[in-house]
Amino acid sequence: MEFAKSVRIPGDTVTYSISPDIKKYALLDLGFEETKRGNFEYKGSLDTDNPFKPVARLRILINADLTGFKMETISGNGMRKVNIFKHARAKEFVEQYHYILADMLKRQVLTASN
């Protein structure tokens, strides 16, 4: 999967894009970790029952020059994609997903459009 300017998770009605005002320190404050290639990766639990062994995670990878990103919802072990909007625990997962992304919108890491 290539880095994109905007991404829409399957089942979501909102498209997210990299903010033109993105800052590296905001990424680190939000829990992103710098990879060996200089990219920034976030893996957040969407499971409020067991955040240390989650059923689903939100994974965001932003490239080193902060111009493109990848975003997907994956299983807890990261081996497969999960459609959180069609999951048996969709209400819980979608609420946590929107909570995490609202913080990223507030910190000007991402922008949203319908």
Q: The pTM is what?
A: 0.91
Q: What is the pLDDT averaged over residues 13-28? A: 94
**Average pLDDT of the chain to the nearest whole number:** 92
Is 40 exposed, middle or buried (CB count within 10 Å of its CB: 0-12, 13-18, 19+)? buried
Phi and psi, residue 30, nearest 5°: -85, 0
What CATH number belongs to 6-111?
Answer: 3.30.1820.10
pLDDT the model gives residue 47? 86
